[in-house]
Structure 1
Amino acid sequence: MPFSFPPGRARIAAATACALVLTTLLGCSNGGGGGGGETASTTTGPSAGSGTQVTISDFTFQPASLTVSPGATITVVNDDTTTHTLTATKGGAFDTGDIDPGKSATFTAPSKPGDFPYDCTIHPFMKGTLTVE
């Protein structure tokens, strides 16, 4: 027996809810590790590496704004239930590539001072800023 959606607005709401659930469950992926900029390494464990850390949890970067010295090592820990990235939005200054749940990645901050906005390329509503000074 096939599933049928209710008529009218309820149909749109039901279809939207199904799409959101599927996107969350499947952890949509951009299929690549990004390109250009600083390279990142992925490790296992909740807090691999030392120094400055950004944690991804509940589809947010914590902290969303971070100030570091030029060339600092930044560890990104994915404590969420789906894959994420932390990727500079302009100029390819850094990109962690895909970080699976429970994993972490590190990257090196740019050597030149400035503000570097970033997002998750899989979930672009996730935003933050890395300030190098």
Structure 2
Amino acid sequence: MVVTIKNFAFTPADLTVAPGTVITVTNQDTTAHTLTATGKEFDTGTLEPGKSATITAPTTAGSYPFICTIHPFMKGTLTVS
């Protein structure tokens, strides 16, 4: 599973994965971003342009909203089922 950050948006912004799925997050934008769960279940840390990181989906089923902590208007939801 891959999430791309570009044009100040997550693609896909809403995704459904199995528990424990490893997700690669790639920043293809011109500025730094994060992909951070609002409940702090996962966090890429700051990703500079052109960089990637991985996160692991929680093992508990549920809905996990996430944002970019640098640009909080960027939002998405990770659903674990």
Give the TM interval when normalised to the shorter protein.
Answer: over 0.9
Structure 2 unaligned residues grouped into runs of 5+ = none
When the two structures are superposed, what TM-score results if normalisation uses the length of structure 1?
0.60
1:97: Cα distance to partner?
Answer: 0.2
What is the CA distance between 1:73 and its match in structure 2? 0.1
Name the amino acid aligned to 1:54: V
1:98 paired with 2:46, answer yes
Q: Which has the higher helix share?
A: 1
- Render the CA deviation track for 1:54-106: whole Å, top value 9, x for unaligned: 0000000000000000000000000000000000012x100000000001000
- Structure of higher RCO (CA pairs closer than 8 Å, 6+ residues apart): 2
Q: Percent of aligned positions with the same letter in both sequences?
A: 65
> In structure 2, what is the equivalent of residue 59 of structure 1?
8
Which one of 56, 59, 69 corresponds to residue 121 of structure 1? Answer: 69
Is structure 2 residue 21 aligned with structure 1 residue 72? yes
SS in 1 for 2:55: strand
Which residue in 2 is equivalent to 1:31?
none
> Whole-Å Cα distance in 1 between the matches of residues 62 and 18 of structure 2?
10
Gaps of 5+ in 1: 1-51
Give the distance between the partners of 1:83 and 1:106, measured in 2 at CA: 16
Superposition CA RMSD, Å: 0.4
Structure that is richer in strand per residue: 2
> Following the alignment from structure 1 to structure 2, what is the Cα–Cα distance between the partners of residues 130 and 79?
20
Query: TM-score, normalising length from structure 2?
Result: 0.99
User: Where do residues 31-70 of structure 1 align in structure 2 (5 Å cutoff)?
Assistant: 52-70=1-19
- The secondary structure found in structure 2 opposite 1:93 is coil
What is the number of equivalent residue pairs in this alignment?
Answer: 81
Q: Which runs of 4+ in 1 moved over 4 A?
A: none
